[in-house]
Structure formats: C-alpha cells, structure tokens
Amino acid sequence: MAEKIVIGLDAMGGDFAPAEPVLGGYMAAKENPEIELVLIGREEEIKEHLPSELPNLRIHHASQVISMEDPPALSIRRKKDSSISVGADLLKKGEISAFVSAGNTGAVVSAATLKVRLLPGIERPGLAVVFPTMKGTPVVIIDVGANIDTKPTHLLQYGLMATVYCRLMWEGVENPRVGILNIGEEESKGTSTYKEAASLLKGSGLNFVGNVEGKDIFKGLADIVVMDGFVGNVVLKVSEGAADAVITMLKREIYEASWWTKLGAMLFLLPAYKRLKKKIDYSEYGGALLLGINGVCIICHGRSNARAIRNAIMVAVKEIKRKVNEKILEELKSLNPTKEE
C-alpha cells in the first residue's frame, strides 16, 4: 500500500474555529482515503465538534491558541504550545507534509519562516494569493506580506516559484505570463528595486511580459504579478476594501431608491451578487500559498467555512502530489547556475 499523504490542520485557527476547521478536515479525510489528517489543537474542543471517528483522522493536542489579534512574531515565541507553533514544528520534523491554517496570517508566516527552513537557494518566502480576473482566468499575486524588506532577487524568485506553481497546478497553462507591478507601462518607471527586478526577470528565461499597472491586475493581462510584500499587502486589502465599498454604496443607492426598485433589486440583483461573491471569495481558490519554505503551507481566510478549509486541504494534497517544491528547486538551478555550483 502506498504511504499516506499526511496533512496537518490548525483546528483552532479562524473566526469559526474549532467548528468549521474540524468539519472541513473531517470532510477532506472522509472523501480521500489516501490522506491522513492530523487535527492540531485542544483535544477536548476538537472532539466536541468531530461528527465521528475516521481511520485516517487523528488529533494532535496543542494547549494554546494564537488569536487573530495577537502580535505575530511575539506570539510564536511566547505560545510554544499553540496550534500554529506546533503545526510548524510537525512540518519541520517531517511528521506532516503540509500545514493548513485559517488562523493569524502573520503568525503562520512567522512560524513557518522561523521554524521550517527555506528551500535551499530561496532567499525569502513569498505569500501568494489567487484572484479572479475580468477575463475569467485567475491571477497570482505574490508577495502579499511575507517579506517587506524586498530585494530585486526576491522578486525574481517570486516569479519563478509562481511560474512553477501555475504550470503544475493549473490545467492548460504551460508558460504562465509573469508581470511586475509598476506605476506605468514604460521600463523607466518605478523605484530602483522594481527597475532592477524587471531587468532580472527579462533575462531569466521566464515568460516575462513587463510592467503591469494596478488597474490592469484584474484584467488578466498576466497570470502572475510580482510585487514587494508591503505593496502586495496594500493591493490585497485595497482590492477587498474597494470591492466592498462599491457593493455597499450600490446597496445604499438601491436602499434609497423607490420601493419598486428595492423589490426589483432583491429579486434580480441579489442572486447575481451572491454568485459573484462566491467567485471573488479567495477562500474558494484554496487560500494563500506560502511559497519558498521547505514544506507545503496554506493560509486560509479567517472567515473560512468548512468547505473552504476542505478546498485548501485538497490544494495542499495536489501541491504535494505534483511535487511543486521539488520542481522549484530544479528550476532554481537553471536560473542561478553560479549560485548553485
């Protein structure tokens, strides 16, 4: 019998923990006998929410919880028996092949970066998020905040890691187009870090398509857009904020209109809006991917429900099966032969 794929799940992370993560983990284990699921967290609380026992599901007790408000780096040092710290420890020791959490993003990034080592040759981890575009295709945005002290080589490596990811994980994308965020289309634009990174990407052998402006990210002109973690975090949050603002203001316009407009909107707009919301909810895409660490790590949105958690687990399984990290190491050699010899 083939060895099982062991996935660690943070049972205590997210706004609806432990109920939703536990249920999501249960769903994934029940549907996929090839995986072994490890629920990490407070045993008693997990048991309360577990529908039944499964042969391929077990609990690894961790007594502490890092909340969404806890300061990330500090809480990792202080709460050594938290589900996030323990999950990172298990990933480091190889007892699990992937760690999935809907908890405090900063804490998961810190734990993974500090405890699990980086892939040899990778200088910084990058947190990647998949967004839908107007074209209907998805776009990977990397880095959305794993590293804010960004050098041109980090941006180059983000491009490479995301290229390998898209090639192996998406169907029909052989040679993903890599763009770099900038404030104009011309090469002369932007800060020295961005200009230097663009020149590195140009000579990298990746399918580099040049500068991508903020307004073009969602147009599907590139499959991957690299940027530094400060800007990327702002892009992630401004997108959410602007989308929310448009919807809220649209609702208000409808609310302030006549009663028959209100009725019409309820009947006709609401179903369309609900379908859209599902499409742009990034937890549907399996959460954010922490690329560059020596293991698979997926961070789900704090509002994730059981289905989103289950989806993220399945992405992690696919990432392991398709050997994304092994392939990143291989590609890195052909990118930087001088560094690797």
Q: Quick one: 175 or 191, whose CB is closer to a copy of itself?
A: 191
Q: Quick one: 219 or 321, whose CB is closer to a copy of itself?
A: 219
List strand residue ranges (DSSP E) for the chain, in order: 5-10, 35-41, 57-61, 98-101, 126-132, 138-142, 178-181, 208-212, 224-226, 288-291, 296-299
What residues does 139 pair with on adjacent strands?
Answer: 131
Q: Quick one: 23 or 130, whose CB is closer to a copy of itself?
A: 130
Determine the Cα–Cα distance for residues 5 and 56; give it in Å rounded to an integer.
10
Which 203-242 positions form the footprint of a copy of itself (CB under 8 A)?
213-219, 229-231, 233-242
Q: How far is the CB of 142 from a copy of itself (least distance, A)?
A: 15
Q: Quick one: 63 or 242, whose CB is closer to a copy of itself?
A: 242
Query: Does 259 contact a copy of itself by CB under 8 A?
Result: no
How far, in Å, are 26, 132, 291 from residue 126 at the CA level?
29, 19, 5
* DSSP symbol at 282: G
**Choices 5-13, 53-61, 143-151, 304-312; region in contact with a copy of itself by CB under 8 A:** 143-151
DSSP string, 230-248: HHHHHHHHHHHHHHHHHHH
**Length, in residues, of the chain:** 341
Determine the Cα–Cα distance for residues 68 and 45; give it in Å rounded to an integer.
18
Query: Does 78 contact a copy of itself by CB under 8 A?
Result: no
Closest CA to 13 of 5, 2, 24, 26: 24
Q: Which of 254, 294, 307, 331 binds a copy of itself (CB under 8 A)?
A: 254
The 117-136 contact track toward a copy of itself, x by CB under 8 A, reads ---------------xxx--
Q: Which of 184, 202, 333, 334 binds a copy of itself (CB under 8 A)?
A: 184
Query: Does 51 contact a copy of itself by CB under 8 A?
Result: no
Query: Does 106 contact a copy of itself by CB under 8 A?
Result: yes
Closest CA to 104 of 88, 92, 93: 88
Query: Does 261 contact a copy of itself by CB under 8 A?
Result: yes
Q: Quick one: 205 or 250, whose CB is closer to a copy of itself?
A: 250
Q: Exposure of 154 by Cβ count < 10 A (0-12 exposed, 13-18 middle, 19+ buried)?
A: buried
Which tokens hold the place of 278?
Answer: 């599902």
Closest CA to 226 of 107, 235, 120: 235
Query: Does 196 contact a copy of itself by CB under 8 A?
Result: no
Pairing of strands 138-142, 224-226: parallel
Query: Does 181 contact a copy of itself by CB under 8 A?
Result: yes
Query: Does 14 contact a copy of itself by CB under 8 A?
Result: no
Count residues binding a copy of itself (CB under 8 A). 61
Q: Quick one: 235 or 289, whose CB is closer to a copy of itself?
A: 235
Which 267-286 positions form the footprint of a copy of itself (CB under 8 A)?
267-269, 271-273, 275-276, 279-280
Closest CA to 158 of 208, 109, 110, 112: 208
Instruction: Catalog residues that contact a copy of itself under the rule CB under 8 A.
Output: 71, 106, 132-134, 145, 148-149, 181, 183-184, 186, 188, 190-191, 194, 213-219, 229-231, 233-250, 253-254, 257, 260-261, 264-265, 267-269, 271-273, 275-276, 279-280
